[in-house]
Amino acid sequence: MTADARARMHPPLPAGYLGNAIFRSSAVATAGDISSNTIEFGAEKIGEATKKLNDEYVRSLIDYLDAVEDVKGLQKGKWAMPRSDLWVISWQGLPIYEADFGWGRPVFMGRACLQFAGLVYVMQEPGEGGGITLAVALEPESMERFKEVIYEDLEV
């Protein structure tokens, strides 16, 4: 998963900083652990992973990247993600629906494409309802089971 590092650094990046400041972290669990536990179990794993993204972690990663001579192998999307992996990226903290470029606020915002299977984007819905939208990229044969698990845990 990726997380914004702006406020995690000390001192934090300036409020007017423009550009990416995202870093990857991983939550690790077996498929059996995920499927045999509640959705809260997965949320706790994600919380543990994002807590790791502190000033020391970010600076350590920057030092590592400075030392790597050939970063081509580190580029996103240049490799196939194992079918067992799932990347969950939350855009809930982005002020997407507060933007107004002169013609009103957006009615929808989402990814233009999902580069490979195993990606899940969590986005807020517009308005005051507090709902979320998931953009999910999975192999077709995995979609039905994913739907079953989500609806089962949400009791919809």
Query: What domains can you pick out in the chain, each with its CATH number?
Result: 1-76 (no CATH), 80-156 (3.30.559.10)
**Is pLDDT above 60 for 156?**
no
Does residue 60 come out as left (phi exceeding 0), alpha (psi in the -120 to 50 range) or beta? Answer: alpha
Amino acid identity for residue 32 in this structure: G
23-37, 48-62, 69-83, 119-133: which range is least confident on average?
69-83
Q: Give the pLDDT mean for 66-79.
A: 68
